[in-house]
Chains A and B, each alone.
Chain A
Amino acid sequence: MTDRAAGVIHDIGYQRYQGPRLGRGYAVGSLLTHSLRTAYGLGRSAKAKVFPWLVVGIVGVVAVVVTAIRSVTGEVVLSYLDFPDAVFPLAVLFCAVVAPELVSRDLRSGVLSLYFSRPLRRTDYGLAKLAALIGAVWLLLTGPMLVMFLGGVFSVDGWRAVWDEVGDFGSGLAYAALHAVLVSAVSLLIASLVSRRAVAAPIVVAAFLVTLPIVGLLETAGGETARQLSGLFSPETLLVGVRVWLAPEPDSMDLGGFGPLYGAVTVALVAACAGLLLVRYRRVRA
């Protein structure tokens, strides 16, 4: 840049862009990272950061307390697998606020027409948003679990114990992923149908709450088979069912021989929500 050194005033007129143009995959990735940042209020006003970080704080405190108790008394209050179940209501609350933030807001502002006029397919938009929410919920659950893991590793003796700890932590991460996928798929589908955030949020919470009494009713009033199947009717108990099926423990939910059914219903529910989400974005006016 010799002329710049010589202090020549540059023509500040329009310059054509000669650089690379990355394709659809990059476009989807950009939308995904932008949405993931949006979920935690990054790059947004301070007001948008309050709620997500409040939930992170509460979940974090739970993890810190559990870790502290373990390091002092040696007693494991919550295992890695227990942790996602224990904070399930917080994850739902998080989704109830973040899912509308990710999709309802876009419906209302009309920004979809700006996305769809770019090298991005309508279904890409839905999938990127879903992946972003899954990532956000998974980080919400696993970040505090990492605190528990670090505390745990330093409180056990011997390599063998550390290795066991890693294995437990790994299954905890996988179970957290299952939580994240199911909760995200259901709440994002609901939010994608409602353009007002204040309306979408309570509907998301309700979707997870109203199903619980059905489970309770079947559990108390039904016969043995009804009791074993009762967990299928609510996302929360459905997840516990999958966990019990894959990692049976004493004193856990009685599934009878229906374990695989819990797995199948979970997969079907996620697939249905994701499928409907894509249909929704194929149809949406923009």
Chain B
Amino acid sequence: MSLIATESLTKRYGPRVTALADLTVTVEPGIIGLVGANGAGKSTLIKILLGLLPPTGGSARVLGLDPVRQGEQVRARVGYMPEHDSLPPDLIAAELVTHLARVSGLPRTSARERASETLRHVGLYEERYRQVGGYSTGMKQRVKLAQALVHDPDLLLLDEPTNGLDPAGRDAMLELISRIGTEFGISIVVCSHLLGEVERICDSLVAIDAGRLLRADRISSMTTATGVLVIEVDEGTEELAEALAGLDVGEVRRDGPALLVPLTGDDIYDRVLRAVAERDLPLHRLDQRHHRVAELFATETTETTETTVTQS
């Protein structure tokens, strides 16, 4: 059973605004990054998956359930962390999370136990008896994550979880999400407009733009297919380019002062290094290009109507 499956999902607000257009995508369990610019339709998709918004057309299934007709069952098994501020400032964190656990259907005692446990997992154990209003932005984000996790959902939907955090806070939040996905065994959909952020922790990516599916695939298949070795030498670039062309390593491209060689196998590094050493060239840089996925999305113009993301 796939985690999430949509079939020609469409959402229109009035006659003009189309938030989602004919979106067909299948996602398997794991950590999934849902990326797209602001206004691409990420939040709309999340709300349809939660059964909070009815789609205009098409259908969706979450954990094998139909969110339109079985919204309550879906919401009992899904945890949602909204993008915007959503915490009453006058409540004590432990009380708030306990209360929300009970609204999710946990009996009183279990709710209290799991609230403390979850607050400990998100790193707020010491501060859990303080009022939420006195928390920093990072702590508030953690409370929002805790309330989504407290009823032990099978799927977490996180809408821009790193919003408003400083770089250290972002790293900590991403690490926490990654741990929840890998160690806790809970599938996660992370919405973000920052691709560089989610690609660090996700198994697969779904990219949408203006309500349309841009691409959906496993991160590994995206990067291995497009891995590039960047070589930069202080002098003799032309000479090296000729040498590499003769080495049968695939198409050698120029990118400013650097040469790009497709990373097709493990021996590419050695062969390139040997070529540089034989000609005694001053090597300036040799590395695998990062953020390749970002470029991939940026240059992607063809529309993929149906792509299946699979995970073993």
Contacts and interface: CB of A to CB of B under 8 A. Distances in A.
Interface of A: 13-17, 19-24, 26-27, 30-31, 34, 43-45, 48, 105-106, 109-121, 286
Given A27-B102, A120-B72, 10 more contacts: A22-B107, A34-B102, A43-B92, A45-B90, A113-B80, A114-B100, A115-B100, A117-B52, A117-B82, A119-B103
Contacts of B110: 17, 19
B147 interface: yes
A13 B117 CA distance: 10
Contacts of A19: 106-107, 110
15 contacts: A14-B180, A15-B117, A17-B110, A17-B151, A20-B107, A21-B104, A23-B76, A34-B102, A109-B89, A110-B85, A111-B86, A113-B86, A114-B82, A119-B75, A119-B104
Contact of B88 (A17, A109, A116, A120): A109
Interface residues of A: mostly helix, strand, loop or mixed?
loop
Contacts of A17: 106, 110, 114, 151-152
B87 interface: yes
Interface in B34-93: 50, 52, 72-73, 75-76, 78-80, 82, 84-92
B95 interface: yes
Given A45-B131, A109-B86, A113-B82, A27 B95 contact: no
Contact of A27 (B79, B103, B180, B184): B103
A114 B121 CA distance: 20
A118 B103 contact: yes
A12 B50 CA distance: 31
B273 to A, nearest CB: 43
B250 interface: no
B196 interface: no
Nearest to A120: B103
B270 interface: no
B266 interface: no
Contact of B105 (A26, A111, A112, A113): A26
A246 B82 CA distance: 51
B183 A13 contact: yes
B292 to A, nearest CB: 33
B12 interface: no
A27 B105 contact: yes
A52 B78 CA distance: 37
A22 B185 CA distance: 23
Contacts of A15: 117
B90 A44 contact: yes
Contacts, number: 103
A14 B183 contact: yes
Interface centre among B73, B90, B103, B151 (most CB of A within 10 A): B103
A120 B91 CA distance: 21
Contacts of B72: 23-24, 119-121
Contacts of A16: 152, 185
A116 B46 CA distance: 13
B99 interface: yes
Contacts of A21: 76, 104-106, 151
A91 to B, nearest CB: 24
A118 B102 CA distance: 10
A110 B73 CA distance: 23
Q: Which of A44, A118, A120, A286 has the most CB of B within 10 A?
A: A118
Contacts of B105: 20-23, 26-27, 119
Contacts of B99: 30, 34
Contacts of A117: 50, 52, 75, 78-80, 82
A34 B90 CA distance: 14
B180 to A, nearest CB: 8
Contacts of A30: 99, 102-103
Contact of A116 (B52, B79, B106, B114): B52
Q: Which of A27, A43, A48, A105 has the most chain B CB atoms closer than 10 A to its own CB?
A: A27
B106 A110 contact: no
Contacts of B102: 26-27, 30, 34
B115 to A, nearest CB: 12
A101 to B, nearest CB: 9
Contacts of A24: 72
A15 B120 CA distance: 12
Contacts of B87: 109-111
A15 B110 CA distance: 12
Nearest to B72: A119
Contacts of A110: 82, 84-87
Contacts of B82: 110, 113-114, 117
Interface centre among A14, A30, A117, A119 (most CB of B within 10 A): A117
Interface in B164-187: 180, 183-185
Given A43-B95, A45-B131, A118 B104 contact: yes
A15 B185 CA distance: 10
Contacts of A34: 99, 102
A114 B86 CA distance: 7
A43 to B, nearest CB: 6
B114 A118 contact: no
Nearest to B88: A109
Contacts of A43: 92, 95
A219 to B, nearest CB: 44
Contacts of A14: 121, 180, 183-185
Nearest to A24: B72
Nearest to A21: B105
